Structures are given as C-alpha cells and as structure tokens.
Structure 1
C-alpha cells in the first residue's frame, strides 16, 4: 500500500523528532553522571582547594586521638615512706619533703634497709628479725646486710671503732651512727640517722624498732656523738671469709 506524499512527510518528521529527543535525554543522563555535586567548586582553583581539604581530612582521620597521659606512679621511696607513716598523704609539708629528698640522695640503700625493720620487737642481746633487736644488734645487722661492713657488737665499741670517723652534730647525713647516754654511760645507746633530725633505732624492752626525733628534749640532752663510715668503700670492698 502506497502512502500519500503528505502523510509520508509527517511520519518522517515525527521519527526525526523522536530520535532527537532520545539523543538529548541520553546526553543529559551522561552529564548528570559526570557533573559534580551541587555546591562543588569547579575550575583549577576549585580543584586545588578540594585537594587541600581532602588532604587535611585524611591527616585528621589518620592522626591518633590524644590519649590521656597516665599519672606517674609514685616512686618506690615515696611509697615506702608513706606506707610506714613517715610522710603525710597529699601535699607534703616541707619537713617531710626534705626528709624524702635526703633519704633518696644519701645512703638511701642503708636507710631504706633499716626502715624495712620498723616494728620488729626489742630484745636485749637480739640481733635478728626472728629474735628481735637491741640497739647495737640492730645497727650491726643493718650495716653488715646493706653495705657489708661488720661493726663491733656493743654500742660503746661501735663508737670507738677506728674505721668510723667522728663527726659533729651539724654535719650529720643519712646513714651516720648517732650515740646517746641513756644508762648514765657515754655511748650506751646507738641508732642510725635518717635525715631531718630523725633517727631509727631499737629503743628499749617492750618497744619496737621505730623512728624518733633527736630534737625531742629527751634525746637532745642525751646526745653524745656521731660516727660516719665510708659506705662507698665498704660497699665496694671484696667479700672475705
């Protein structure tokens, strides 16, 4: 069947319009797929800015989150003195601070060794933890155990030992031996100076190893002298049997 020229022209025109519409739709879809999201800057400046922003975001994402810095653990010396009741909790008073510093800085091993025996009972003639200590048995045990220096057994003998140097009260340092007249006899009692006017000793029957203040009137008026050992030389000396 043949179509009239006019009808044929109308159908050709419709087909062309349909083809053009399809092409336009396809081009729009392709543009939508490649077009940047709304608000995105284009051009060389925009692309540079986007790259900078992306790099910053990447650094933020990879940077580890700041961890809370743990509080420093209390050092062993502070903890030991605090547990023994020689330092107050919280803010330390100046005296306790100075005592702590002196124990750390001078003869700390010997002084801390002595403090390990706080609370051990007094025993006349005693020289061990199991049996208890008297004053000179305590000092002898501490010096031999911590620095390897064997002192004479009695307090007056320790005061007269030629290996120990006599020192004045104002020269006292932690680790020095301090002597007192407690039995109407010079050098009848001995202890170990720990700093800030305090000393550790085995006091008397019915008591135990403890720290006391030499400035208390009882001890101040009975102080009879002090002796110092060369602790470094004693610690470095070879062990002999």
Structure 2
C-alpha cells in the first residue's frame, strides 16, 4: 500500500498529461519512448501489487470472520460452563444442608453403612480373578488405595481430600503420569474401552451421560473412587454408582 500510494502521489503531482501530447512536446522522442516503456512496466507491477493486496484482504476478511465465529463459540461455551458450575454448586449446597440436618446418630449409622459397603466391595474386588493392569495403571491404583477413607471435598485434588477427578489425577501424578484435572477431559486421556469385560485394574471408568464422575477400576465390577459430599474415598460396586457406566479409558 505504501509503495503504490507513493507512485500514485507522484503521478498526481506530474499532472498525468496525455502520452500523445507528451510525445509531441518532447525534445527527445527516443528518450521519451524509453521512459514510456519503463512506465508501462511499472504500471504492470502496480496491477500485480493491487491483485496481491486484494487477495490478502480477502484472506484477512475470511480469517477475521473465522476468529469472530470462534470467539462467539467460546463465549457461548463460557456461559454454559458458568450455568453448569452454578447448578453443581446449588446441588452441593443442598447436599450439605441435608447432611447438616442429620442427627449424630444418623450420621454414625450412615458412615457405618458406607464403611461396610466399601469393605464388601473391596473384598469382591480383591477376591476375584481380575488381573491388575501392569505398569502405570496398576501403580496409580496402588497409590489410590492408600487414600481409602480420605474425605470427599469438591474441587480438592489431594493429598488429604479429593473429589472424583482429583483422586484419579492425583494418583496418576504420583507415578509420573500427567492426566487432565476434570473428568470430562480425562475421558480423552487414552484408549477407550466400552466393555466392562475388557477393563483392567487401574483403568479410568466414567459414569453418567455427561461424564461428570470418574473412578479407578478395582476389578470384578468394583470401582475405587471419591463418590460425593459427605462420603470418603472408598470401594463401591459399579452397579450402585447411581448413573450408567459409559466406558473406561486406559492411559
């Protein structure tokens, strides 16, 4: 643009006299014709430069539109995530109110039931014939076992308290494997396994259609996980999670 503008300004200052009149008035026709040929070449270069500018402008316009569309998508996603976060926080508040309304005796009975269910699930997991996954999945599972009994705290990722994806990401991190923090992102952290018969100990297992819950497969239809507020890290049958099993992921 700068180059073409400079040349256009020079042409404006020269007055742009008709070429035939310039030839008639020229004291040296040969010299004029040589200059005219040079100017013709420069005009051709200007045309090419203008074409390039037009192409670049079209490309920029397209990229600007794509960027605008992506920004709109991001804004929509951010709004949706904000709504989901408020929904989750509301449910957590309701759950906490319910827990606070329990008497000491009711809390003790609930904890006893949960501990008994966890022991039963652990016995089922360890008593079967499932072969633990070798390598990092088995190692991550072994680390997670040391956290049985740790309290569930929403947003916590160890070492003393956890939410569901906080436990799985922490366990894998302890054996040198980095996986995303949220359950939705962890669903894309490895190879998916859609059949429970194909699962091995230490595989990530996901529940509910929106994949908001994840745990570690413990073998024989059991999962080691951090369930929800008011509970602790424990073993549980996959059939009692409260939502459908979607698939497993082998990291």
For normalisation by structure 1, the TM-score amounts to: 0.49
Query: Which is helix-richer, 1 or 2?
Result: 2
Larger Rg: 1
For normalisation by structure 2, the TM-score amounts to: 0.47
